[in-house]
Amino acid sequence: MKGAILVLSGPSGAGKSTIIHKAGEAIGDYYFSISTTTRAPREGEVDGVDYYFVSKEAFEEGIKAGDFLEYATVHGNYYGTSMLPVQKALDEEKLVIFDIDIQGHRLVRAKLGDVVTSIFITPPTLSELEKRLYGRSTENNEVILKRLKSATNEIKAIAEYDFLIVNDDIQRAAQEFILVANSARLKHCKEDLNGFISQWLEG
Amino acid sequence: MKGAILVLSGPSGAGKSTIIHKAGEAIGDYYFSISTTTRAPREGEVDGVDYYFVSKEAFEEGIKAGDFLEYATVHGNYYGTSMLPVQKALDEEKLVIFDIDIQGHRLVRAKLGDVVTSIFITPPTLSELEKRLYGRSTENNEVILKRLKSATNEIKAIAEYDFLIVNDDIQRAAQEFILVANSARLKHCKEDLNGFISQWLEG
């Protein structure tokens, strides 16, 4: 049966990339969905790796053409997910991993709910998040304050997620992630289940 | 945080007990909920192990007293789950495993939905189920025909379950079961999540 979708949300600084990296091959063959954004690249960010960086005009054309599975405006910039590579990966029975915010999660769940498993990943406390964001010093204070404010709102939405991973211990967090990612692959869409029922009755 | 619930449904003959036995210690500490029933014990079935076998009168008193988390009538007999041992196991942070039918699943989900993960387990086809039921010859033909008819109805409800495990290969089925059972433990009830949010913001 077809591939499945794993949505990850949580504040920047929660350690999502570190957890995925740590999990490595234990979660099998996956496609990490690269978002498209109109925000400026941060130092060290590479186009086509971290994001597809595009102009506001190009993004708005994509919206008009119906290219986006989901998109949203965050801190004045567009962020979105092109449907084409996602569909390709699903057809190849890969686990598609999205790193999107709570708005994106709602949209993806509404569109592809049957095969979505979602995880909210967070540092143990707001003050720990603050420490991590100032510690890595890749953003200026204004951006960090915006991120902390977002996180304070986003944490209230954790009940919308299938799972919560508290990243206070990277080993345990990665183990939990591996478990959820591999069980996510066992989800089936309604269409496939209906096919199964027909075959089951006749078989 | 508190224990979680794993609901297993699927036709008698799907191999549910074999799968749990095969999974063994890989799913950690769990409490297998023993149902109470008014049906007669089958050969080899032991009271307090396979079921609590009680009289119709005793069962109906339990219903009046509100002792049952869920109960239903199947083939003219009562089957139900006492809440007391379940609550005790949840308080001890155990995974509580239920082997109940689709009606039971609906009731448990309605009451304890936050912490429920459900799996429908089935042989690969109806004819394979038939073969297994006649093969083990623990029931008479009339009972087997009733079971096959039930299975034909129950299979249509698989989309209500979080997961489907097709038991055509016991090794693979047990591996899938282990994955789902261990991820089921990561579920949190709304109450615990609300507690987490408060601590997160203050911490």
A18 domain-assigned: yes
A59 domain-assigned: no
Task: State pLDDT tens for residues B117-158.
Answer: 999 999 999 999 999 999 987 778 998 999 999 999 999 999
Task: State pLDDT tens for residues A161-201.
Answer: 999 999 999 999 999 999 999 999 999 888 899 999 999 99
A70 domain-assigned: no
B189 domain-assigned: yes
Range(s) of the domain holding residue A167? 5-33+94-202
pLDDT of B28:
92
Residue from A82, A104, A115 nearest A154 by CA: A104
Task: State pLDDT tens for residues B17-66.
Answer: 999 999 999 999 999 999 999 999 988 999 998 899 999 999 999 999 99
B111 domain-assigned: yes
Nearest CA in chain B to A173: B186
First to last CA, chain A: 18
Contact A125 B176 (CB under 8 A): no
- pTM for this predicted structure: 0.88
Residue from B168, B163, B84 nearest B120 by CA: B163
Q: Which chain B residues are closer than 8 Å to A153 by Cβ?
A: none
| Confidence tier at B189 by pLDDT (50, 70, 90) | confident
The alpha-carbon gap from A159 to the nearest alpha carbon of chain B, in Å, equals 7
Burial readout B116-141 (b: 16 or more C-beta within 10 A, e: otherwise): bbbbbbbbebbebbbebbeeeeebee
**Under-50 pLDDT residues of chain A:** none
Pair A67, A82: CB distance under 8 Å = yes
A137 domain-assigned: yes
Contact A186 B193 (CB under 8 A): no
Q: How many domains does chain B have?
A: 1
Residues B53 and B80: their CA atoms lie apart, in Å, by 11
Pair B170, B158: CB distance under 8 Å = no
- Complex confidence, ipTM: 0.86
B45 domain-assigned: no
CB neighbours of B191 closer than 8 A, spacing ≥ 6? none
Residues A184 and B179: their CA atoms lie apart, in Å, by 10
Helix ranges (DSSP H) in chain A: 16-23, 56-65, 83-91, 102-112, 126-136, 141-154, 170-184, 190-202
CATH number of the domain that residue A164 is part of: 3.40.50.300
Contact A158 B193 (CB under 8 A): yes
Backbone angles phi, psi at B177, to 5 degrees: -60, -45
Contact B183 A200 (CB under 8 A): no
Nearest CA in chain B to A163: B187
B75 domain-assigned: no
Contact B200 A159 (CB under 8 A): no
